[in-house]
A and B are shown apart, each in its own frame.
Chain A
């Protein structure tokens, strides 16, 4: 097994090293200077290899510290309960959610696909050795931070040390349960496509984790000790079962399908979950259209992809309605909440840039457009004539804006209404500005993603993302939106600026799209 592990580690490292060289080569300007020979250049290979190993080491820690800092430490101030106990409480329940969402073993990664499916490496040895390695990384990665954050909050030392092991055994128990189910019904599910049951379980865990402390209920270290002991006993039992499980090959054959693996590749991080709906595209022939030409083509696309287009927006709208209603009730029954809301609405408009960024569906919609449509259509030369490209672009723009406007109108209208109900404002134009700036943001993100897609078309024919520039733009969009959270600015000034910016940006980028898309919108070869 050790030999298999060493082979797989080398394989992963080679893949990562080549990916690093490839990404460097994809950067604008640089790509012109660097030759293909790079892949055989020893010096650069060593350099990329070192970066790859450094990244491996850093990645052991980085995710963990962000997780504890953001999900646990960062919310401590919400609660009045004992800090050490709250820490243990949140950790206990979030670990359960994490246990079912991230099993390591069932994650359809490319390296698994290459090794098990393409290179025929022993699936059990590959799966297990990598699984153990992941678990080892988990302990090493968590321990320093459970000790650090635990110490800061006065958590007993033995709990600080026990926590990573608690995570470990939770993962083992979940894994064993999945294997047990697989033995019974022979069905394995990629962990990037969680079932409804998994989502409900995760939802319940989150509710128990973040909800109970509000009611003053938290788990203390004694209960945690009790839970841990049971979990450890079950964990040891699970480990033996996992180790002796024989059907890894069969299981991996089901999980490591091309669509699963490539979906993983395209969707980054949280999007993997958000976009599992991509798989559930409704290819139902019963939807038809009476339009012609581009409008016909696009209309059918939109109708048959309702799930990821309109239905997602409808769900968002429902959630927004619930939140706004809850806020209205809050305002009517609680005076301090009312004043706070009023204050909030008049200085926290920048915050909504980030919210509008989060709820905008354009990024995943353009992904679906590529995978289920342009991927095949771009091979037809006639589809790439300016008339067709721009014709379909226009239809898509209309749809994207409309879809995203649905929740945006609710948010904009809701905010204006809340402002009114929470005591109003001296300057009535604020109502209009709140509403219009939210709409402007929504249109901005729709235009932004679609234009970027047309100008940078980042995918190749096997639907792999091949443009570093596109990734950089995605990151910049995120960073700028996130940065807005920190800004407090009067709604009036910020609103006007936003509206002007959004209009200007949209006009300029549409102009660029019309001018350049016929040249840039093609498959990457």
Chain B
């Protein structure tokens, strides 16, 4: 399965943010999306998530050679600021999410199993989400998006609010689930991208390009990425 983006354009009035995006994201890989501040990473995600209208181009899912529209169920989007309904407990939130995604969930587990999977402690499971810390809310947001089992998972700076231990756990978890998903992961932290991602993609001047990792050691790769990011078109 592939997510194909073709000639995607997005302007905010006269400011060109996404000039001409052409890319194919494949299942089973984690893509590290790097870009400078204001490069348009979040805009790109917002376009894919249909939060904003695109000006031109298209994106679709290609499955066994067949093209189809990307539906709401295909996409999960974890924002950098966690958004969870504060009036529910973690357990209730999961229950609701499982209820509405019932048909799509493969290998349904019990709620507690999901909590185990995300390493959410027993005593936290029945607490209201409003009392959760920033990092804990982020975990929940990640968890529900994973439960919904979308084909495409967009992660916007998701690991920055986690402590080192949780961040390691999350990385491990992403590696475990990547075989069934297309994961696009935006970040400013190059080490994280190099460590976790299978492919490095750079968004610069409204264009998306892949960095060829072949035969480069980490230092050379870093320099190559920085050069690419600095590049003026």
Contact = CB atoms under 8 A, between A and B. Distances in A.
A379 B130 contact: no
Task: Find the residue from B12, B49, B101, B127 having the highest chain A CB count within 10 A.
Answer: B49
Q: Is the interface on chain A under 10, 10 to 19, 20 to 34, or 35 or more residues?
A: 20 to 34
Contacts of A382: 72-73, 76, 97, 100-101, 148
Interface in B88-133: 88-89, 92, 95-97, 99-101, 126-128, 130
B96 A297 contact: yes
B135 to A, nearest CB: 16
Nearest to B73: A382
Contacts of A304: 87
B59 interface: no
Given A285-B127, A296-B96, A382-B101, A377 B85 contact: yes
B86 interface: yes
B85 A305 contact: no
B37 interface: no
A380 B147 CA distance: 13
Nearest to A522: B51
Task: Find the residue from B72, B95, B148, B150 having the highest chain A CB count within 10 A.
Answer: B72
B148 A300 contact: no
Interface stretch (A163-171, A231-239, A368-376): A368-376
Contacts of B189: none
B49 A35 contact: no
B46 A385 contact: no
A36 B12 CA distance: 9
Given A293-B100, A380-B144, A382-B100, A373 B87 contact: yes
Given A285-B128, A381-B76, A296 B95 contact: yes
B217 interface: no
A274 interface: no
Contacts of A305: 87
B4 interface: no
Interface string B10-38: 00111000000000000000000000000
A292 interface: yes
Contact of B130 (A283, A375, A377): A283
Contacts of B75: 381
A394 B108 CA distance: 28
Nearest to B99: A293
A463 to B, nearest CB: 12
A394 to B, nearest CB: 14
Contacts of A492: none
Contact of A375 (B50, B79, B83): B83
Contacts of B127: 285
B207 interface: no
Given A376-B84, A385-B72, A285 B144 contact: no
- For the complex of A and B, the 6 pairs showing the least CB-CB separation, nearest first, are A376-B83, A293-B99, A385-B72, A379-B83, A304-B87, A297-B96
